[in-house]
Structure 1
Amino acid sequence: MPQPDAPRADAPQPDAPQPDAPQLDLATLHEAVAAAVPDRECLVWRDRRMTWREVTDRTRRLANVLRAHGLGRREGTHEPWESPHDHLALYLHNGPEYLEGLVGAHKARVAPFNVNYRYVDDELAQLFGDARPRAILYHARFAGQVERVVKRLDTDPLLLQVADDSGTPLAPGALDYEEALAAASAEPPAGVRPSPDDLQILYTGGTTGLPKGVLWRVGDLVHGPFQVRRRDGSPITDVDEVVARAVRGEHRVLVAPPMMHGGGTWSALGGWCGGACVIFPHRVDGLDADDLMDTAERERATRMPIVGDAFARPIVEALERRPRDLSSLRTLLNSAAGISPGVKRRLLDLVPGARLLDILGSSESGFSVTRLGTDARFLLQSGAAVLSADRTRRLAPGEDEMGWLAKGGGSIPLGYLNAPEKTAATFLTVDGDRLVVPGDRARLLADGTVEVHGRDATTINTGGEKVFAEEVETVLRGLPGVADALVLGRPSERWGSEIVAVLGPADAPDDAALRDGCAAHLARYKIPKAFVRTGRTLRLPNGKADYALARELVEALDGTAGTGE
């Protein structure tokens, strides 16, 4: 995600670093910044305020705990879908321990990976079966699930339990996290030299299939999603230059999206690479907009990532109920979901000193295109391109073809863990350049801007016409009385597939009003044939669309519904 001194959305974008260019690693950068500003605030949550010196001490101790239990990296060659590391599972809500786990793992040359804390036992067992963790760092509230699932594995991972307000006792065989750190050395792990080639694993949300472990080299993360770059977009490859920028910076990043997904993690770690203090709101098991805005005001946050309407609407409502002094807030970074135009305008009016940057990307690409404020179209970022429909060539501006958004330039992942076929299908070579094609459809316009149509997985073929769900969702969310909307297709004898909208609140306008509202913005074939209203939230904790719930609600419809024209 863009970090301090990130390039303007309209700035020229040079090529990203190639794999043989000098790169930096997270562990070395964190140590270097800490040495330069040891007494500056590094992390704030509730009543805990830790300096860079204190966080460095704790991450070193965690690294030594992992090394003492035999975890590390094995040398030798490996395929793009293989990992030479032992793996640390981060099964946590946001908080200091999540960031300590990420950085401490890298200082031990262990690959950390994210765990969705909403998973039930079978989903967690599938994830652990794929990732094969040698250690699990988890909040006490998840101890029972960890105990049950670990029994189903053919390994015996190290268990590090973090005390929380659940009051859950220490699980049998587990180490208390704080006691383990207190007993470990605060010196850098002996003989360990972190490398830009070390890996971090980011599991996808599984919205288009089973979760996949995306294998990121740390060096590519630093110059890609962490945005260790100059204002002109060129990568910074010298540690001293990074440290000098960090010393000047003193930014404060307020992270509300769950770090079990890429946006939250990248914002926090990118902030640390720029010397920022990372702040968490008091509540970390869900969004409390009043708590979030109170924290932003109290801690003088300068930057805050958000996730679409799921965050923007409650924030707007909280600020309209009670304005806060947010004069320090300069940047709002929106990713992973769209913000309705009306909500965006209200948000910008309420925080007039901040710019709103929309970022579109994926776990596999980092961010590919951006747009500023109320702009309708996106700008290609470093290494991004639009490929032809057959994915064999780059499209030129103005070619009237619905293509695929792609990302290259060097700072992209290696592949998917344990998945050579999926790696080959997603990571392509076009005109000699290696590109990742996550699945977003796009059109490259004559002026070089990009019109994004959304994921191919959410495209609905109805009566021979292709409809992009996100286009219809955006229109619905802009209608009076509609708080949120998801659109999907269901089998239809007449149309092959027909469009159905699931929306909230439960007392949303009637079908006729919704169809009339859509008709002002959409061709007739794009207007939903049926509407399902619900009082349940249609968003996951990270703000992304919960299409599984939407499909469940659609399948519960009367079989005679949705037969209109």
Structure 2
Amino acid sequence: MTHNYLPDAGVTAVPAGPLAVDAAVALGDVPRVFHMPHTTLAENLEISARRFPDKVAVQFYHGATTYAELLAQVERMAGYLQQACGVRRGDRVVLLSQNSPQFIVAYHAILRADAVVVPANAMLLEDELRHIVTDSGAVAAFAASELVGQVAPLVGTTPLRHVIVHHYGDALPAQPDDGLSIPDWVQQRSSGTALPAGAVHWQQAMAAGSTPSPRSAGLDDLCMLPYTSGTTGAPKACMHTHRTVMVSVAGSQLWRRSHAESTFLAVAPMFHLLGLQNGVNAPVYMGGTIVLLPRWDRRTVAQLVARHRVTFWAAPPPMLVEFFAQPGIESFDLSSLACVVGGGAAVPDSTARLMKERYGLQFVEGYGLTETASFIIANPLAAARSGHLGVPTYGVDARVIDPATLTEVPRGEVGEIVVHGAQVMLGYWNQPAANAESFITIDGKRFFRTGDLASVDADGYFVMRDRLKRMVNASGYKVWPAEVEAILHTHPAILEACVIAARDPHRGETVKAVIVRRDGAGVSEEELLAWCRTSMATYKAPRIVQFVERLPRSATGKIAWRELQEQEMQGAPLPNHKA
């Protein structure tokens, strides 16, 4: 059975040999050449289980699962998918869950069954899931107990036929751990109660003791269909193979100097590529230990970092702001942390300075998209630059072009980032029109248009300016919100800021700042506006300030600026977003 998903005949979508980094870029101690392992994601777990059978693979609060135990569970569940659910090579299986050991088992079981993982945001409702299930043609699903109500109605009304239901508490030891605060919803265990038609309990599937068929999927088989946020219409699925994902996983770990003794904190949602790549795929490939939490809890994170000597943490910047701002943080031993990476925004100067001065930590910014399997541009560890995305990584050709003419712009000028690399998706699933708009050919290479605006400095480092469609046009002056936000974050009273466009009868648009003040900060709107006028060019300075208690966030912890922008343009009052 052959699976050829390559989108364009004559276009090379796989690396022909070792991948290298531009020799002109300063990398410090990062190796310039990377040889990609020719193993699938399913094989990675088998290899780590053979190398480290008794080592802890997953630490879930006070419950530990070794690599041998993890592989045994994966094998049984993969066998159940094939024998009881009829899952065949290339079939799609939805995974709907918060971070948990069951998520990791289900993920690898789907891969071991030669099937394709469809990770779904745990906050999606029934109609949103209906689109994903119908679009992907998923025949089976894994769902956490609190989410089964969203997916069960799809059985029989979509291609979905089977649902396997898990309870997070079943992965916890019977004895309590008084030192950690475990939410009640996490502690709930399966009671064997009746489930909707087509659904079975996780334990029932495991008890079947099924054995999977020999692996047949290869590097160029689809392994994953992650859906984009759908901000410009219905969500679209990104077609990733074992190869595209492995280029990102293995390359990022060489770049960041991780190893088998690294301990990875997994608190970013695993249904998103930041959490999945850095909290599941990377540690399993390396044979490291995953310390995971179902949801963000800054105090429990501090306890887990200290208790399990976490070394690696991939986090969106807002998590780091909250984490290092929490009362009593200085009482925790965080000395094990060696590498803190993330993307989507720069860490405010005050947080970056605290990390550096108190803990010797440099926040290492990177850039990636769901379409690029996350890792594509990154700062070298020994040559990281604050406020910079970094440089193109192994085998990546990244350029900045004029969005209108599609020609490359001179260094220092702002344009759209386009990327070519072995980790770029094959295309959007069943979306020929979107693929035609998203890919262009330059110098015989197929480039993906990111829709992100950046410039490149004299040393080859990319600097984010903003999304192509995120721009304030004030009296003809173009204002990039990210630049204004960076300046706002230097104000001692500001914890977080999000800049959006507001309608203005004279300027067309004007700059509005939605602000979260630090605890105890009493700065007024008038004071802040006056400060802005003295801190940045007049056309950039916000004319409107609104204070809120919290900013809305996406599932991955990024500030949901589009939500604020849409509410502003629709004339709706901005919510306070109280915790």
TM range (shorter): 0.7 to 0.9
Query: In the comparison of the two structures, how many residue pairs are matched?
Result: 518
Q: 1:417 to 1:162 in 2, by over 3 A?
A: same
CA drift of 1:14 comes to: 5.1
SS at match of 2:465: strand
How many Å separate the matches in 1 of 2:122 and 2:256? 38
SS at match of 1:386: strand
Aligned to 1:154: 158
Aligned to 2:230: 206
2:560 corresponds to 1:546: yes
CA drift of 1:11 comes to: 5.4
Match of residue 369, structure 2, among 362, 370, 373: 362
CA drift of 1:431 comes to: 0.5
Aligned to 1:220: 244
Contact 2:225 2:240 survives alignment (8 Å): yes
How many Å separate the matches in 1 of 2:201 and 2:153? 19
Q: 1:156 to 1:452 in 2, by over 3 A?
A: closer
Give 5+ residue unaligned stretches, structure 1: 1-5, 74-84, 234-244, 560-565
How many Å separate the matches in 2 of 1:557 and 1:232? 45
SS at match of 2:565: helix
Aligned to 1:70: 86
Q: What is the one-letter code of the residue matched to 2:326?
A: A
CA drift of 1:377 comes to: 3.1
Match of residue 91, structure 1, among 84, 92, 96: 96
How many Å separate the matches in 1 of 2:248 and 2:572? 48
Q: What is the one-letter code of the residue matched to 2:262?
A: H
Match of residue 216, structure 2, among 150, 170, 193: 193
Contact 2:377 2:390 survives alignment (8 Å): yes
How many Å separate the matches in 1 of 2:214 and 2:562? 47
SS at match of 2:326: helix
- Report which stretch shifted further, 525-534 or 545-554: 545-554
CA drift of 1:95 comes to: 0.7
Alignment deviations for residues 237-288 of structure 1 (CA, whole Å, 9 cap, x no partner): xxxxxxxx96xx221101111112110000021121111111113xx23x21
How many Å separate the matches in 1 of 2:407 and 2:328? 46
- Report which stretch shifted further, 417-426 or 535-544: 535-544
Contact 2:91 2:115 survives alignment (8 Å): yes
CA drift of 1:555 comes to: 5.4
SS at match of 1:367: coil
Contact 1:501 1:531 survives alignment (8 Å): yes
- Report which stretch shifted further, 224-233 or 249-258: 224-233
SS at match of 1:220: helix
Alignment deviations for residues 510-532 of structure 1 (CA, whole Å, 9 cap, x no partner): 22222233234422111222122
Give 5+ residue unaligned stretches, structure 2: 1-19, 169-184, 574-579
Contact 1:307 1:338 survives alignment (8 Å): no
RMSD: 2.9
How many Å separate the matches in 1 of 2:234 and 2:356? 37
Alignment deviations for residues 346-384 of structure 1 (CA, whole Å, 9 cap, x no partner): 1223322x4421112211122333235553434312214
Contact 1:16 1:409 survives alignment (8 Å): no
2:503 corresponds to 1:488: no
Aligned to 1:295: 304
Aligned to 1:413: 425
How many Å separate the matches in 1 of 2:450 and 2:572? 35
Q: What is the one-letter code of the residue matched to 2:309?
A: R
How many Å separate the matches in 2 of 1:12 and 1:427? 30
2:64 corresponds to 1:49: yes
CA drift of 1:230 comes to: 4.4
2:481 corresponds to 1:474: no
SS at match of 1:526: coil
Aligned to 1:307: 316
- Equivalent residues in 2 for 1:237-248, closer than 5 Å: none
SS at match of 2:487: helix
How many Å separate the matches in 1 of 2:45 and 2:265? 19
Aligned to 2:176: none
Contact 2:152 2:163 survives alignment (8 Å): no
CA drift of 1:57 comes to: 0.5
2:274 corresponds to 1:258: no
2:437 corresponds to 1:425: yes
How many Å separate the matches in 1 of 2:558 and 2:565? 15
SS at match of 1:437: strand
Q: 1:469 to 1:208 in 2, by over 3 A?
A: farther
Match of residue 130, structure 1, among 122, 129, 135: 135
Q: 1:145 to 1:253 in 2, by over 3 A?
A: same
Q: 1:301 to 1:13 in 2, by over 3 A?
A: closer
Contact 1:170 1:176 survives alignment (8 Å): no
Q: What is the one-letter code of the residue matched to 1:542?
A: T
How many Å separate the matches in 2 of 1:380 and 1:355? 17
CA drift of 1:537 comes to: 3.4
Alignment deviations for residues 402-449 of structure 1 (CA, whole Å, 9 cap, x no partner): 222222132211011121111122222210112222111111222322
SS at match of 1:428: strand
Aligned to 1:33: 48
CA drift of 1:295 comes to: 0.4
Contact 2:525 2:546 survives alignment (8 Å): no
How many Å separate the matches in 2 of 1:229 and 1:370? 12
Aligned to 1:387: 400
2:283 corresponds to 1:271: yes
Contact 2:367 2:390 survives alignment (8 Å): no
Contact 2:95 2:142 survives alignment (8 Å): yes
Q: 1:553 to 1:501 in 2, by over 3 A?
A: farther
TM-score, normalisation: structure 2: 0.82
Q: 1:495 to 1:253 in 2, by over 3 A?
A: same
Aligned to 2:529: 515
Aligned to 1:77: none
CA drift of 1:37 comes to: 1.3
Aligned to 2:350: 342
% identity of equivalent residues: 23
SS at match of 1:31: helix
Q: 1:155 to 1:377 in 2, by over 3 A?
A: closer
How many Å separate the matches in 2 of 1:549 and 1:400? 31
CA drift of 1:392 comes to: 6.8
How many Å separate the matches in 1 of 2:37 and 2:340? 31
Q: 1:556 to 1:460 in 2, by over 3 A?
A: closer
Aligned to 2:386: 375
SS at match of 2:276: helix
CA drift of 1:182 comes to: 2.3
CA drift of 1:458 comes to: 1.5
Q: 1:156 to 1:215 in 2, by over 3 A?
A: closer
Q: 1:375 to 1:145 in 2, by over 3 A?
A: closer
Alignment deviations for residues 181-222 of structure 1 (CA, whole Å, 9 cap, x no partner): 12133x4x2243231112211212334543221111111111
CA drift of 1:132 comes to: 2.5
